[in-house]
Amino acid sequence: MNFRRVLIGVVGAALVSTAVVAQPLQGFDPAVDVPAALPVTSFYEASPKLAGAKPGDLLKAEPVAAPAGARAWRVMYASRTWDDQPVAATGLIIVPDDKASRPRPVLVWAHGTTGGARGCAPSLAPNPARAFLERGGAAGYPIDIGTPYLEDLLARGYVVAAPDYQGLGGPGVHQYLVGDTAARGSLDAARAARQVRGAKAGADVVMLGWSQGGQAALAAGEIASAYAPDLRVRAIATLAPSATIMSPVVNQLFRSNTPHVYEIIRSYASAYGLSTDLLSPRGRDLVEVAGQGCILEVFKEIGRSKEPGVIADVTDDPAWTAALERNQSGLRVSAAPVLVVHGSADAIVPFGSTELYQARACAVGTKLQIDRIEGGDHRSIIPTGRDGILRWLEMRLRGEPLAQSCPSAG
C-alpha cells in the first residue's frame, strides 16, 4: 500500500479553479493502524517566565542528540499569536560544533502539516534533531520529523531553528494555517537561537518552508520589518507553499471531507472566534478528532463513515470569508526575496496555487523567483530542489542579483 501521497501538505489550502477535488481517502487504507500522537512531556508545559517575557526570549532548553559535529537543544521560547496574545512556543536549535569567527546565519525550517494535537510537534519525537524523515517511514514515526538538507546546512555554517508552531508541543489550540501566528513563531525561533550559549547566531536569517510551513515562511517575510526589526531576513525559500487559501472552489473543498478541512475549521474557529454552524454532528466529531490526534488519525476516522461533515457553504458567512482572505500569501510585500519551488504534478497543493500567489506578490512588488519542477509532486521536490535551494540561499546572503519571475521586473 502506498498512502504517503495523500498524507502530506494541505489539500484544503491550495485547491484552485483548475484543480479537481480528489477523493480524500484515495490510496489510504482506513483499516491500517496509525501511530498515535507522541506523549507530551513536562518540558512542554508553559514556563512561569512567560508572563514577563518578550517575543523570542528563551524560556528553557534541554540538550538532545545531535548529528556528528553538531549540538542540539529542545527549546521553549516566548512568542505571540496574530492578535498579540503571549504563547509558549517550542522547537529545536541545532548548531555546528566548530568555532565561528563571525556570527552565523540562522536558517528557520518551517515544517509541513503534522496535525492539530500538541503531541504532533516534531520536536517531541525521539532523536528529533536529524535529517528529514517522512511520516510512515520504517521507524514508524507518526509525523514528519527532522530538517531537509541538515548536514549541508550545518556544513555551510548555519544555525538551524526548527519551530513546532504555536499549539504543537506547547499549550493552546494550534492555529493551523493562520499565517501570521506561524510567522511570528518562526521569527521568534530565530531570536531564541541567538540566546543559545555558544551558538554564535547572528541577525541574518533565511527561511525554508514546505507546504503549511511554506505559508509560514511567506508570512514571515511579509511581517518581518514590523514584527522583528532586530533581524535581517535575507531570503524566503519555499517548497509547494500553501499560498492560496481562498479560491473559486473553496466551498467544494470544504464539502470534500478532506481531513485538512477539519484542522482549518478547528483552527479558525479558535483563532478568530468563527461560527461552526457549517458543521454536521459528524463534522463536529471530526473536529474533535483533529484536536486529539495527528493528521493520520483524522484520515482514519473519516474512513469510518461517508456522512458529510460540512453542510453549509463557507462563503455564506462573511466572517469566514474574511478570515480565509486574510491568510492569502502575497497581499503584502515581502521584506526579502522569495523563491518558490513547486512541482507541476503536485496533487496536494496544485501548481495553480503558486500561479495565483505570483499574481498577488508581483502586484505588490515582492522580488520573486519561481522554479517549476516538471513532473515533480508534493514530496519529490524536496530532494530534487536541494542543490538549487542551497545555492539560492547562499546567493541571497552574498547579495547577488535575483532572477525574477514578475513580468515587469528587470
Q: How confident is the prediction along the chain (410 residues), in pLDDT tens digits per residue?
A: 222 333 333 333 334 433 333 344 444 566 667 778 899 999 999 999 999 999 999 999 999 999 999 999 999 999 999 999 999 999 999 999 988 889 999 999 999 999 999 999 999 999 999 999 875 544 555 568 999 999 999 999 999 999 999 999 999 999 999 999 999 999 999 999 999 998 999 999 999 999 999 999 999 999 999 999 999 999 999 999 999 998 888 998 899 888 999 999 999 999 999 999 999 999 999 999 999 999 889 988 988 888 999 999 999 999 999 999 999 999 999 999 999 999 999 988 999 999 999 999 999 999 999 999 999 999 999 999 999 999 999 999 999 998 889 986 55
Q: What is the CA radius of gyration of the chain?
A: 20
**pLDDT, tens only, 20-73:** 333 444 445 666 677 788 999 999 999 999 999 999 999 999 999 999 999 999
**pLDDT, tens only, 164-186:** 999 999 999 999 999 999 999 99
Q: Whole-angstrom Cα distance, residue 396 to residue 391?
A: 9
* Segments in 174-303 forming alpha helices (H): 179-193, 212-227, 250-254, 259-272, 281-292, 295-302
Q: What is the pTM for the complete model shown? A: 0.92
> Do 108 and 206 touch, CB atoms closer than 8 A?
yes
> Do 67 and 151 touch, CB atoms closer than 8 A?
yes
- For residue 189, give Cα distances in angstroms to 72, 75, 220: 14, 9, 12
Match 516566548 to its residue by C-alpha cell. Answer: 78
Q: What is the pLDDT of residue 304?
A: 85
Residue 281 phi/psi, 5° resolution? -55, -40
Q: Name the nearest CA neighbour of 338 among 218, 245, 224.
A: 218
- For residue 408, give Cα distances in angstroms to 40, 165, 330, 359, 365: 50, 36, 16, 11, 10
Q: Whole-angstrom Cα distance, residue 192 to residue 106?
A: 11
Q: Whole-angstrom Cα distance, residue 229 to residue 306?
A: 49
Residue 25 carries which DSSP code? T
Q: What is the pLDDT of residue 300?
A: 87
Bridging pattern class, strands 70-80 and 86-96 = antiparallel
Q: What is the pLDDT of residue 141?
A: 55
Q: What is the pLDDT of residue 28?
A: 55
Q: What is the pLDDT of residue 20?
A: 32
Residues in the chain: 410
CATH number for region 1-410: 3.40.50.1820
> Do 343 and 380 touch, CB atoms closer than 8 A?
yes
Identify any residues that bridge with 369 across adjacent strands, giving them in sequence order: 339
Q: How far apart are the first and last CA of the chain?
A: 48
Burial category of 275 from C-beta neighbours within 10 Å (exposed 0-12, middle 13-18, buried 19 and up): exposed
